[in-house]
Amino acid sequence: MLQIKRAGHSTLTTPDIEKMVDYFTRIVGLSVAAREKNRVILATKSGLEAIVLERGSAVDAPRLSFQVAPGSDLGEIASRLKKAGLKSERRSDITPGIGEALAFQDPKGTTLEIFSDFDFAPEDPNFAGVMPLKFGHIAYQCPDVQGVVKFYCDMLGFRVSDWRSDYFAFLRCSRDHHTVNFLRNEKTAIHHIAFEMRDWSDIKRACDMLARNNITLTWGPIRHIIGHNIAIYHKNPDGVVIEFFCDIDQMFDEELGFFEPRPWHQDRPQRPKVWGDDTPSNWWGPMSRQTPQSDHAAPKPNSEPARSPALAHARKRQAEKKSRRKTRPSK
Ligand SMILES: [Fe+2]
């Protein structure tokens, strides 16, 4: 089994690469790390490559890169994959930061590029746009969520942080609650891409930045319940949903097995679990008005926000615990 440590970058195809470069540099605040005829590599201001744009006829996210421990032998990893029945291919010059990678497909057809060593992008002195800290997570929709989750856990070393019922999985490869999401849907497609912000004040600044550029939030600000991240959502010029978030649940110690306790958690302690179908999409802020299966999508315009059902849920659980303690026979 591989042990993925972090997500590298997502490769996005777009029919209008210049429009997308403008969006990702001027609005999102990424830097151009390299530019070629048919692709542009974009990095955070801290030098982490995050997005690779490629010219293409359709909007898609065909490749995703992941880093394993620096110094890992890619040849040895290829042998291990082969033993597990997985054919991989050695590729060079993936990006300016990734010289060597091992490429293979996951069960839903996304090409994964596994690399061990990475060079940070050169410093960009121009501060502009939202300027996220890093590429936080990517969510895909696909028909066989269980199969994809099994592959990511068994082959890549991901851990399941939470499920919503049996159709929405949140997987971690580091202390962050999730780096990939899989949502059941008939069609395989990208669902959204999320960038991590430093804190709530940066989310507020992002709201102002988007508004200044006439980009409407499609959802938020909210605090989710699953993952507990504060988040805002909008659509980029290609129609891909982009999330900016902060405050996501952290599993600092896998042996302890619980997320770092926070006052807004529903459980004490908050451990990985299966959340019921009826779990509200968020703790506060406008609720998703979509069917549960399209949770994380934008609420319908002009819908009346419902508030605080999560608090009721937590109080109900506390009351149930209290009544169980009362009915216990005394010693
Ligand atoms: Fe997300």
**Distance from residue 141's CA to the centre of ligand 1 (Å):** 12
Contact 5, 67 (CB under 8 A): yes
**Distance from residue 281's CA to the centre of ligand 1 (Å):** 12
Contacts of 213 (CB under 8 A, 6+ apart): 26, 27
**Distance from residue 136's CA to the centre of ligand 1 (Å):** 8
**Distance from residue 183's CA to the centre of ligand 1 (Å):** 11
Q: What is 116-152 written as a DSSP string? A: S---PPPP-----S---SEEEEEEEEES-HHHHHHHH
C-alpha–C-alpha distance, residues 155 and 84, integer Å: 8
**Distance from residue 126's CA to the centre of ligand 1 (Å):** 28
**Distance from residue 48's CA to the centre of ligand 1 (Å):** 19
Task: Give me the tens of pLDDT residue by residue for the chain, a chain 331 residues long.
Answer: 899 999 999 999 999 999 999 999 999 999 999 999 999 999 999 999 999 999 999 999 999 999 999 999 999 999 999 999 999 999 999 999 999 999 999 999 999 999 999 999 999 999 999 999 999 999 999 999 999 999 999 999 999 999 999 999 999 999 999 999 999 999 999 999 999 999 999 999 999 999 999 999 999 999 999 999 999 999 999 999 999 999 999 999 999 999 999 999 999 999 999 999 999 999 999 988 654 444 444 333 333 333 344 455 555 656 666 676 666 654 4
Q: Which two tokens stand for residue 88?
A: 């991989």
Strand 180-184, strand 134-142: pairing: parallel
pTM of the entire predicted model: 0.88
**Distance from residue 234's CA to the centre of ligand 1 (Å):** 12
**Distance from residue 193's CA to the centre of ligand 1 (Å):** 7
**Distance from residue 243's CA to the centre of ligand 1 (Å):** 6
